Amino acid sequence: MMQAVAIDHRRLGVNFTGEGTATVRLWAPKLEAVHIRFRDQTLPLLPEAHGYWTLTIPNLQPGDDYEFITPNGKAIPDPASLCQPQGVHGPSRAVDLAAFVWTDHKWVNPSQDDYIFYELHVGTFSPQGDFQGVIDKLSHLKALGITAIELMPVAQFPGLRNWGYDGVFPYAVHAAYGGPRGLQELVNQCHAQGIAVVLDVVYNHLGPEGNYFKEFGPYFTSKYKTPWGDAINFDDAHSDEVRRFFIENVLMWFRDFHIDALRLDAVHAIKDLSPIHILKAIRQEVDAFIQNHWCMHYLFVELDLNDTRYLDPLKRGGYGMDAQWADEFHHALRVTAGQERSGYYSDFHGVGHLAKAYRDAYVYDGQYSEHRLKCFGIPATHQAGNKFIVFSQNHDQVGNRMLGERTSALVSFSMLKVMAGATILSPFLPLLFMGEEYGEKNPFQYFVHHGDPQLIDAVRRGRREEFAAFHDAGEAPDPQSESTFRNSKLQWELQQADDHRALFQYYQALIALRKKHPALRHLDRHALEVFFEEDGDILVLHRWHHADHAWCAMNFSNRAQRVALANDQPLQNVLDSGNAHWNGKETSPGMLQASSFILPPESLVVYTGKYD
């Protein structure tokens, strides 16, 4: 069994001892010899057990560029590089992570229940498209009520623009964003504002361009195939050291960058039949890190499986992940709000499935799925509300549309407010996608900046084939074109326009109500009732905590309808999407004395009351 990872310092790549020397450690079992070249020197590394090569160097300094030289004279960057200032094919740059002066010593990671996520792409979030651009907008996020930003992947990828899932240097922070120093400063500033930082990381594959891993060792295995080719080698020969590489990457983000939580991309695509799954091994090492450092860090996952094994604690045979993205809530909500039932949306039947998502977290927990052509999922009965992250949009659901239209381009202004309330007032952890809080109109489209002409053609061809049935809607934007990237940038000036300003204030009110009201703040999935009318597209979500009760009534239809609440006590209207303050046109009763009332079309209202 693989030995425990040293969690107090980074061991791979180039590291500085604090005594004027640097240590170099490279795993390269495929190489019979390897040298490190920096400045005007070329030095041989010394072999160690299990395919490692090491050296202690007295005159390698932070800021020096270096590369490894193979026996045939080929120069290759460090797979554990922290910085690639000349791109994925250039030399690596030595960085002393310990040199950053942190000022977040009093920072305490919020309780998981208090996470309100804001997913953003660094390159399109601000005009300058870097970490400083995010820092400049932290006051906006603080005013909104966000408690955690979630960064799409920042590991070094080819070119200057990319979603980040084509990264090929898991340890290197993308140079154009500001490199490792820029990320450390962003985290430091977020903590000063009371905002946690979640980082999206990719451990299911590595991108194609600039991927030199096969030059060094068996980082991949042909035992399994993934959508991206051979799987990362988590259970084949030599897998101990591959597992170590990625586990140490997890610990680096927490230890050296003060990241509060990781979002592990598409963990269903990780292939591992080891007795200890790599996710379980990561959980064990993170638990040890938490215990030794007296700090809390979370592990969230994107999971396209309704399988509670990923969420179950280690003592119950699970992998111990803290929460998963709940795509089915999104799908049910979008169909209820009028989304066409095509592709994976074909499995969802509107308000009844949305009600099931509120009650059961999973819509499919054993039923037959017409889209998957099999029974799918298991019940999530024993999983708490904070185990599920829900959203009305995210980078995937927007960007994987052919034209990348945001929800604001697909539904009415009134429906935007209903969908926001349905998400933020749910018994789960809500996630917003950048710009949705003010109704951003620019799309978020798929973009890349590859240097390999054949790869560029392959990406273009793949997008055309993916949307071949949708030519009536036009052509898919060219992923390689800089205009596709620029068209995806946020338009911050929109916030000054009337409806956009009103929508932002509405989001503020929703988030403040969630934080303030006990029935909405506590994520007890058992203190919940859901009533719905399939024919009328009406849903009432009733939540409570002790004597405090909240009813959230939602009308997804385009006509006014009578709604009945199962109560006999006076109730107070505490939030109404039809209020003129948020550019609404028709409100519900301010005080509710009767058990029923007329709910205007495409509207949401929240009533609260106390029961002894």
Closest CA to 260 of 104, 383, 390: 104
Asked about 302 being catalytic, the answer comes back as yes
Do 443 and 398 meet the contact criterion of CB atoms below 8 Å apart?
yes
Query: Could you tell me whether strands 75-76 and 368-369 are parallel, antiparallel, or unpaired per DSSP bridges?
Result: unpaired
Collapse the DSSP code of 605 into the 3-class scheme (helix H, G, I; strand E, B; otherwise coil) and give the result. strand
Q: Which residues contact 321 (CB under 8 A, 6 or more apart)?
A: 264, 267, 279, 283, 299, 300, 301, 303, 310, 311
d(C-alpha 308, C-alpha 445), whole Å: 32
Q: Which residues contact 388 (CB under 8 A, 6 or more apart)?
A: 323, 324, 326, 329, 361, 380, 428, 429
Do 533 and 505 meet the contact criterion of CB atoms below 8 Å apart?
no
Identify each DSSP E strand in 141-188 by its residue range.
148-151, 155-156, 169-173
Largest CA distance in the chain: 84
Count the residues in the chain.
612
Q: What is the DSSP letter of 38?
A: E
3-state secondary structure 519-584: HHHCCCCCCEEEEEECCCCEEEEEEEECCEEEEEEEECCCCCEEEECCCCCCEEEEEECCCHHHCC
Taking residue 610's Cβ as centre, other Cβ atoms within 10 Å add up to: 13
Do 154 and 201 meet the contact criterion of CB atoms below 8 Å apart?
no
Catalytic choice (200, 302, 548, 576): 302
Binding-site residue numbers for substrate are 263-268, 327-331, 395-400
Catalytic choice (236, 265, 272, 365): 265
d(C-alpha 66, C-alpha 74), whole Å: 13
* Element (DSSP H or E) covering residue 509: helix 498-516
Supply the residues annotated as catalytic. Answer: 265, 302
